[in-house]
Structure 1
Amino acid sequence: MDKQNSKLRWLIFASVLFTYLIMSSQRTAPGLITDQLMTDFGVAASTIGLVTSIQFFVYTFLQIPMGILADRYGPNFFLIIGAALTGIGIIIYSLSTHEFILFFARILTGIGDATIWVNMVLILRQWFTEKEFTRFIGFAGMTGSLGFLLATVPFSVLIVLLGWRGAFLFAGVFLCLCSLFLYLVLVKKAKQELFVKSKMKREKTSVLLRRIFSTRQAWALFLCHFGIVGGYIGFIGSWAVPYMMDVYGMTRLDASQLIMISLIGALIGAPLIGWVSSCLKSLKRPYVVFHITVLLCWSTILLFKAYPPFSLLVILFFIIGFGFGSNSLTFAVVRQSFPMTESGIVSGFANTGGFLSAVLLPSAFGYILDHFQSTSGSIGDGYYYGFITPVIFSIFGLVGVILIKEKQKDEEQDTKRKKGKKVDRDRENACHY
């Protein structure tokens, strides 16, 4: 089958991205019911923070191994089984009666979630030409933000109608059906094998990994993704809704609407920031600006002792979301700085930084809340000191983006130096004559 000229590729494109939409929504959806979980299971905020972050930990740990497995056995199996595992994990989550079952369910969900991005990229690469792939991978990135958006007001409405257990049960069953549909499309209808065994040079991979871990540029990208992604996803996916309910006395639906404003900012920011950087012919300068902007936003919330005027809070959340859209520049720098043979692993390494911070922030925030509730009994003080966490994370991100060496800019400076030396030599020669 000529995949890149087949009409079937559009069905594959739609089905894969739709599955990614539903799966990405379940990364932050548990943040909508944080307070209900604490009440129903009688657990502390730190425990719920750990339950929330465990999925991101599993996702982070499996990024590079998943890339190796996908290269060896093909993307079809892992994408199909990943959607099924995520669905089963969410179903168990909805039926859980103990916090240990919650942990197990989120671990299973994290294993399934870890399969989606790498294998989706490989499938799109197989079925679309190079130009189409470049254009559609941007749509894939926006689909993730749309998934976060789905986990705000729409999923909140579903929770109100069905209860939190019914809403998550529905999402889990729906993802299992998506897995079945992917099997019918990718394997049966496309007449492709579920498993594709291919030889892989393990030694080459180990050499690349050693090179990456000793490269300043890779660590700079790791840090800037750590700062820009974790503060946003980690907070939105865990404590944003409880914060607005506890501090501002908002309903769950109203709080989710404010999160939706932040996610709209992310949707607008991603393509607009890419356009700005292309106009400026620089990746580092706009990235530095947006890292500073996000740091100032978190610091402003801290300056108002976690209780800024509501109109200002809306603006700050929108700007933080808009700044989060700049995280795509991390992978633009990867493409600029590393050869094609290394870009996949470097992208996985940088992405690991982002989701590692998403693992750490909910737990750290939860421990701070528990500490101040037990010592002073003030939830407001807990949130105030809790916001120190995203401020610190943003400082790490700013350090990382400052450490980035922009290859294009450096090459232009080298060219100017060479031209200047040539002019000097010409002048010297002219003086001799």
Structure 2
Amino acid sequence: MRTLMSGPVPSLHRRARRAWLLWGVAMFAYVATVAGRTSFGVASVQAGDRFAVGSAALSVVGMVQLGTYAAAQFPAGLLLDRFGARRMLVGGTALMLVGQLGMAFSSAYGLAVLARVLIGAGDAAIFISVVRLAAAWFPARRVPLITQLTGVLGQSGQVISAIPFFAVLASAGWVPAFGMLAALVFAAGVLCLLLVRDEPHDGLPTGAIPVLASSPLEVLRDVITSPGAWAGLAAHWITLFAVNTYVVMWGVPFLSEGHGLPMGQVSTLLTVQVVFGMALGPAIGTLSGRFPRRRGWILLAGVAPMVVLWVVVLAVPGRHSMLALLPLACALALGAAASGLGFDIARTGVQPMSVGTAVGFVNIGGFGAGLVSVLLVGLVLDALAPAGDPDLGDYRIAFASMGVLFVLGAALLVVAASRGGLRPLPRTPRPLTPAEELSEEQAEARAGAGPAA
């Protein structure tokens, strides 16, 4: 047995180390992406002064960015399934670099909108590429955990926008702050170009989903007709759209102007939200991987606290302290972490050839509904406070309008689930030999997670 195992074990160890390295490089690109995505929400007060526009016009900037991101998901997914993660990561970072430089040096509102379009288009390629890269390099049973880690660790980009970006914005001004984000994206693009490879070519089995050159029409048909893809989209919708509304655009004004919190406390709440989500994500990913037929219950556990705490915060009168708003930040973190379940539901609900497109399709849920929500909140604020000085009561009514979108997303989930959308499709991978199976488990243990159930 020792002679039998001497060959594949070292090779699998090298595969595991290479997989973590490549995923880490791609994760750096995603962290830089999230920092750029959430930067405008942090700078929204300064943006109103710089471009001399009101709440509705600012919400259009956020809406355009999220709208471009959502609209680009299908083409980005098709390109990803066709050309692989490395090219998409490099291309996406290049677009975002041009967009961040445009944000840094633009003083006209129209140019800022165009810059956010480029940022949204580049952003659309990054997360789905990281997920596809993980599916190609890691064993299939570990992919749910890696997907969750990707989502929650990527949100550390919010910490960059909430703390160092805001500090540079407040002390040095607009151009250096957005120039810092451009430098971060540039570094990520160079690293992806030099180090990332689409899939392993060592001939060793993982059971992971390979990159396939499939017919775009065949892929689209598989995704559009899959109840699992629709259930994943709806799950992503109800868990993430309110988080996006809060983080991308209206959370900072709600906390600072509505509740009167100083920016230091606002940054603390945003940071706690990210850190708490990073702690929850691996646990949710592990549960999703071990209990794929219980993902509906895991999803409910992630959504219910967020709904309850939104109702409490919006219904209880008066300004709240940072400590009183802390549970909402934690509930939003839980919702963001639970949104990764949508990718697991869709990934196991379509054929292997369609995984990249299915992930992009799911992303439309949280970000498409998020863009509608950003615009809806802005329109309500402008209607209630035409002079551009909304009070806490105005913010409460505006945020309460998100309830309509939540009901629509929940209804879609119920319909998809009734058609079997929460049940994984049966897979028939080639069974591993005893030597291969034992080698894989040893490699996984060396990587730090131990054998999965």
Pair 1:94-2:104 in alignment = yes
Q: CA deviation at 1:12?
A: 2.9
1:253 paired residue among 264, 268, 291:
264
- In structure 2, how many angstroms separate the alpha carbons of the residues matched to 1:333 and 1:132? 15
- In structure 2, how many angstroms separate the alpha carbons of the residues matched to 1:297 and 1:19? 33
With over 3 angstroms needed to count, the CA separation of the structure-2 counterparts of 1:338 and 1:372, relative to structure 1, is: same
The percentage of aligned residue pairs carrying the same residue is 20
1:48 paired residue among 55, 58, 62:
58
TM-score by length of 2: 0.78
Aligned residue number for residue 420 of structure 1:
none
The count of corresponding residues between Structure 1 and Structure 2 is 400
> Are the aligned partners of 1:49 and 1:238 in contact in 2 as well (CA < 8 Å)?
yes
Q: CA deviation at 1:357?
A: 1.5
| 80-89 or 257-266, which deviates more | 257-266
What runs of 5+ residues in structure 1 fail to find an aligned partner? 192-196, 412-433
Q: Whose helix fraction is larger, Structure 1's or Structure 2's?
A: 1
With over 3 angstroms needed to count, the CA separation of the structure-2 counterparts of 1:48 and 1:219, relative to structure 1, is: same
2:77 paired residue among 51, 67, 70:
67
Q: Which residue identity lines up with residue 253 of structure 1 in the other structure?
A: G
Pair 1:149-2:163 in alignment = no
> Are the aligned partners of 1:83 and 1:178 in contact in 2 as well (CA < 8 Å)?
yes
Pair 1:267-2:267 in alignment = no
SS state at 1:152 partner: helix
Q: Which residue identity lines up with residue 254 of structure 1 in the other structure?
A: Q
Pair 1:177-2:177 in alignment = no
2:340 paired residue among 305, 309, 328:
328
Pair 1:29-2:32 in alignment = no
Q: CA deviation at 1:28?
A: 1.0
With over 3 angstroms needed to count, the CA separation of the structure-2 counterparts of 1:88 and 1:314, relative to structure 1, is: same
SS state at 2:294 partner: coil
The CA deviation string for residues 280-324 of structure 1, in whole angstroms up to 9 with x for no partner, is: 962212322332322221111221257445432222222232233
> Are the aligned partners of 2:36 and 2:161 in contact in 1 as well (CA < 8 Å)?
yes
* Bigger Rg, which one: 1
Q: C-alpha root-mean-square deviation of aligned residues, in Å?
A: 3.2
- In structure 1, how many angstroms separate the alpha carbons of the residues matched to 2:193 and 2:362? 31
Aligned residue number for residue 201 of structure 1:
215
Q: How does 1:370-389 map to 2 (within 5 A)?
A: 370-374=382-386, 378-389=390-401
Q: CA deviation at 1:66?
A: 1.3
What runs of 5+ residues in structure 2 fail to find an aligned partner? 1-10, 202-210, 425-453
2:331 paired residue among 311, 319, 330:
319
> Are the aligned partners of 1:19 and 1:175 in contact in 2 as well (CA < 8 Å)?
yes
Aligned residue number for residue 406 of structure 2:
394
SS state at 1:374 partner: coil
| 353-362 or 115-124, which deviates more | 115-124
The CA deviation string for residues 172-195 of structure 1, in whole angstroms up to 9 with x for no partner, is: 0231232223223348xx99xxxx
With over 3 angstroms needed to count, the CA separation of the structure-2 counterparts of 1:336 and 1:381, relative to structure 1, is: same
The CA deviation string for residues 364-398 of structure 1, in whole angstroms up to 9 with x for no partner, is: 11111111112796523321211113333333343
- In structure 2, how many angstroms separate the alpha carbons of the residues matched to 1:275 and 1:406? 25
With over 3 angstroms needed to count, the CA separation of the structure-2 counterparts of 1:303 and 1:240, relative to structure 1, is: same
Q: Which residue identity lines up with residue 169 of structure 2 in the other structure?
A: I
Q: How does 1:30-429 map to 2 (within 5 A)?
A: 30-130=40-140, 135-186=145-196, 200-212=214-226, 215=227, 217-275=228-286, 278=290, 282-305=294-317, 307-308=319-320, 310-374=322-386, 378-403=390-415, 404-405=417-418
Q: CA deviation at 1:354?
A: 0.9
> Are the aligned partners of 1:25 and 1:151 in contact in 2 as well (CA < 8 Å)?
yes
TM-score by length of 1: 0.82
SS state at 2:249 partner: coil
Aligned residue number for residue 421 of structure 1:
none
